[in-house]
Amino acid sequence: DTAIKNTAINFAERFGSYSVAANFSNFEELKPFSTPTVVQWLDQYKTQLLAKQGIDFVGITTKVVSTKIISSSEAVASVLISTQQSETYKTEQKTTYKDMLVKLVWQNSKWLVDGAYWQ
């Protein structure tokens, strides 16, 4: 259970924390923890984010507040992650709370993220 939670927490915090200055490099950091399907999706999502961020956007920092394993077996697991996000713009900052459902699979002797869904 610890490995499942740690993988989900690591993914959620890195996935939800990005900045224009870092050119969304967090998505590259996630790839070793992700299945090939998620790696492909991360590349597409990064392109979407780059296209839609306004000139005032600076970045988002995400911290995990709590975790709950919804289900787990030897091969698959689902974890509900509650997060706090701080969005920074040139003129303001706002804090929001979001949940993320992280789905994991056991591959190559480790847990990999096979899906992540903001709730």
* C-alpha span between 87 and 104 (Å, rounded): 27
DSSP code of residue 16: T
Task: Report the alpha-carbon distance of residue 99 to residue 63 in Å, rounded.
Answer: 11
- CA–CA separation, 56 and 78 (whole Å): 35
Q: In CATH, what class is 2-118? A: alpha beta
Closest of 14, 16, 20, 17 to residue 51, by C-alpha: 20
**What is the predicted pLDDT for the residue at 71?**
98
Q: Is the pLDDT score of 6 beyond 90?
A: yes
Domain locations in the chain as residue ranges:
2-118
Q: pLDDT of 89-118, one tens digit each? A: 888 999 999 999 999 999 999 999 999 999
Q: State the DSSP H helix or E strand holding residue 103, giving kind and residue range, or none if neither.
A: strand 93-107
pLDDT (mean) for 5-31: 92
- pLDDT tens-place string over residues 52-103: 776 677 889 999 999 999 999 999 999 999 999 999 888 899 999 999 999 9
- H helix intervals, the chain: 2-15, 26-30, 36-52
In this prediction, residue 2 carries a pLDDT of: 95
What pTM did the predictor assign? Answer: 0.91
